[in-house]
Amino acid sequence: MTQDTLPLVIEPLALQSIAEEDDLLLVDLSTPHQFSQAHIPGAVFIDYGHIVGMDRPYTGLLPSEQSFEHIINSIGLTPQTRVVAYDEEGGGKAARLIWTLHAMGHERASLLNGGLIAWYRESFPLSNEPVIRHPNPANQHYAVDFSRQPVVADTDYILGKLDDPQLGLLDARSIEEFNGVARYAQRAGHIPGAQHFEWTRALDAEANYRLLSKQTLQPMMDELGLTQDREIIVYCQSHHRSALSYLMLKYLGYEKVRGYPGSWSEWGNRTDTPVAT
């Protein structure tokens, strides 16, 4: 399997067949305890809290370019590296890493379908051995620039597009959050015009939390009016859950998809943003 054929979503069996290749980097975004107990052999650990920024009450922001640059260089990630990310929860944290890599222009990133759950339940090998990182030498430093790729939507961008019929908004939170019954910001509700698609609806629990098939997912999006000809912006409370929604849409072949870092923690805590319930 070459770089040109490495899919956005990779199966455990396919990963096992290429796990020893030099340009492949497995990244584990499970909890520190889970990683110490069992991880995929050779995977490096990244704490999810280190790949998101915070400016209270706003959470789930893009990390600073400097901090993310430090992380990727500390694990030896280069422009040629093929990243396969996974976690223990269904893919939200791993997808957030992939979205962040896309935001800096690094497209060589894949999600392990089913993550650690599928890997473990299907009896692929696990390890609890410490993993030695191989940082990039100074002359191979990989610079981060989050202005390169159009996968990020900020509040002003959304406000300027709310009346655009070509814009679609996908809210990945619970129905209680969407309807304003549950409140985790100063104001409750959703962005006007948003469609509700709770993030775990994309997953098949009976298939070890893999993504549903494209043939199943696309009609679900079409029914909501979130068709492939529109630009889709995904959000949740902090662009953790909706990171999987972003990856789902990219997996389906959507070309115009953006994630909203900060998400409802920003929109619901500002006073200049309209709210629907």
Residue 274 belongs to a domain: no
Residue 91 belongs to a domain: yes
Domain match, 80 and 108 both: yes
pLDDT per residue of the chain (277 residues) written in tens, 0 to 9: 344 468 999 999 999 999 989 899 999 999 999 999 999 999 999 999 999 999 999 999 999 999 999 999 999 999 999 999 999 999 999 999 999 999 999 999 999 999 999 999 999 999 999 888 899 999 999 999 998 779 999 999 999 999 999 999 999 999 999 999 999 999 999 999 999 999 999 999 999 999 999 999 999 999 999 999 999 999 999 999 999 999 999 999 999 999 999 999 999 999 999 999 9
Residue 3 contacts residue 89 (beta carbons within 8 Å): no
The reported pTM is 0.97
Looking at residue 5, its pLDDT comes to: 61
Residues with a catalytic annotation lie at 236
Integer Cα distance of 40 and 26 in angstroms: 8
Domain match, 166 and 218 both: yes
Domain match, 127 and 23 both: yes
Residue 164 belongs to a domain: yes
Looking at residue 6, its pLDDT comes to: 86
Residue 220 belongs to a domain: yes
Integer Cα distance of 9 and 94 in angstroms: 11
Q: Any idea what DSSP says for residue 107?
A: -
Domain boundary among 87, 114, 140: 140
Integer Cα distance of 131 and 262 in angstroms: 32
Residue 261 belongs to a domain: yes
Domains in the chain, number = 2
Structure token pair of residue 198: 């709770």
Domain match, 45 and 114 both: yes
Coil, strand, or helix at residue 156?
Answer: helix
Domain boundary among 117, 140, 163: 140
Report phi then psi at 131, rounded to 5.
-110, 130
| CATH number of the CATH domain containing 48 | 3.40.250.10
Residue 94 belongs to a domain: yes
Residues 6+ apart with CB under 8 A from 218: 252
Amino acid found at 247: L
Residues 6+ apart with CB under 8 A from 93: 29, 30, 48, 87, 240, 243
Domain match, 136 and 260 both: no
Quickly count: other Cβ atoms within 10 Å of residue 211's Cβ: 22
Residues 6+ apart with CB under 8 A from 67: 50, 53
Looking at residue 1, its pLDDT comes to: 35
Tell me the residue range of the domain where 99 lies: 3-140
Integer Cα distance of 41 and 97 in angstroms: 20
Looking at residue 73, its pLDDT comes to: 98
Domain match, 227 and 126 both: no
Looking at residue 214, its pLDDT comes to: 98
